[in-house]
Structure 1
Amino acid sequence: MITENQYFDGNVKSLGYETTEGKSTVGVINPGEYTFGTAQKEIMHVLEGELEALLPETTEWQSIKAGSKFEVPANSSFKVKTIVQTAYLCQYR
């Protein structure tokens, strides 16, 4: 089954699906700054565009370009910001 997700007044939208490896979402982030919370470990792949991420236990923003990824531990939060629409794949593991 495919699920539809919408966050931050529609500025982040994704489609969720499940594989044998676990749940994943693929979506688009509109320009802006957003804070996300995690229940599971997340592996975030930037597919198109670019964003900056402020990860747990860090004080500096990291630039994440298309073709790159970052990981966030379970039960934490992280921030992202972008000035262009950015497509992503998020794997929950």
Structure 2
Amino acid sequence: MSTQLDNVSVVKKSNIYFDGKCISHNVILADGTKKSVGVIFPSSLRFNTGAPEIMEIVGGLCKVRLADATEWNSYGAGTQFSIPGNSYFDIETVETVDYVCHFG
């Protein structure tokens, strides 16, 4: 996994979710692909998805339970997980998590 995103436009206004527990910025690549780059502070949250997503964990540690799953899986720096569209996932961040969300 690359350590940076090159040749992007950044939306200056931040996205703030869950009373500041998750903060991200949207980035748009030269080909029009949209991604979100952000942090999730230690918390337990549920995210709903519209489009399919791949969550790339850049730093930190978290546990994730996908919709309709009973098992929690751990993810740390250098790992990723996929979520189908029109679904959700529960995430527990053990420590602050840096992530890139790849849409579509």
TM-score range, shorter chain: over 0.9
State the 4+ residue runs in structure 1 displaced beyond 4 angstroms: none
Are 1:24 and 2:35 counterparts? yes
* TM-score, normalised relative to structure 2: 0.84
**How does 1:7-86 map onto structure 2 within 5 Å?**
7-19=17-29, 20=31, 22-86=33-97
Q: Radius of gyration: which is bigger?
A: 2
Higher strand share: 1
CA–CA separation in structure 2 for the residues paired with 1:54 and 1:22: 27
CA–CA separation in structure 1 for the residues paired with 2:95 and 2:82: 21
* TM-score, normalised relative to structure 1: 0.94
- Work out the number of aligned pairs and report it: 93
**Root-mean-square deviation (CA), in Å?**
1.2
Q: For residue 14 of structure 2, give the secondary structure of its aligned residue in structure 1.
A: strand
Pair 1:44–1:21, CA change in 2 (3 A): farther
1:57 is matched by which residue type in structure 2? D
Whether the 8 Å contact between 2:51 and 2:84 is mirrored in structure 1 is yes
Match of 2:14 in 1: 4
Match of 2:100 in 1: 89
Structure 2, unmatched stretches of 5+, are 1-9
Percentage of identical aligned residues:
35
Larger RCO: Structure 1 or Structure 2 (Cα < 8 Å, ≥ 6 residues apart)?
Answer: 1
